[in-house]
Structure 1
């Protein structure tokens, strides 16, 4: 998939975005959740993100409300009961 240098660049972009979210008060957003959001949702819609530079810029452009819209959509489309989902107490 990615070469080591490309993987490093992408991971740095994720870490930078997580730090930004945390510094603005969005402590609930984790690194793995952000990666999953990009790979499973954001980039599924955008089939042509061929370069590492474009992916890096896309990661850095994510706004918190976009991520939370995805989380809300994920909850609405899951077959699990609300009680079986992750602990969302930190969001309230």
Structure 2
């Protein structure tokens, strides 16, 4: 969760992140959780960014677009390693 952020920065940004999650939930996306949002921010939004101020981080959180978040989730699902797939459980699908 805090790969690039210090614990203090993550603490200060948590309120903004929770506000954005509430926005997603109001839009009907109830399954989005905080850890997914952190992953999106760290792995996509802030991947190549240099040191930012707390205000810049908060603005990034505030400006998350639902479509961009789900595009990232879809890409992440497509490149997910499926080596651990258990073909023994396929009977449930039949």
TM-score normalised according to structure 2 size: 0.74
Q: Which runs of 4+ in 1 moved over 3 A?
A: none
Give the superposition deviation at 1:2: 4.3
Give the superposition deviation at 1:40: 1.6
Unaligned runs of 5+ residues in structure 1 are 85-92
More helix by share: 1
Number of equivalenced pairs: 80
Give the superposition deviation at 1:49: 4.9
Which one of 77, 80, 83 corresponds to residue 82 of structure 2? Answer: 80
Note if contact 1:9-1:56 (Cα within 8 Å) is conserved in structure 2.
no
TM-score normalised according to structure 1 size: 0.75
Larger Rg: 2
Partners of 1:31 and 1:7 lie apart in 2 by 12
The residue number in structure 2 matching 1:87 is none
Unaligned runs of 5+ residues in structure 2 are 1-5, 87-94
Partners of 1:36 and 1:54 lie apart in 2 by 18
What is the root-mean-square deviation in Å for CA atoms of aligned residues? 1.9
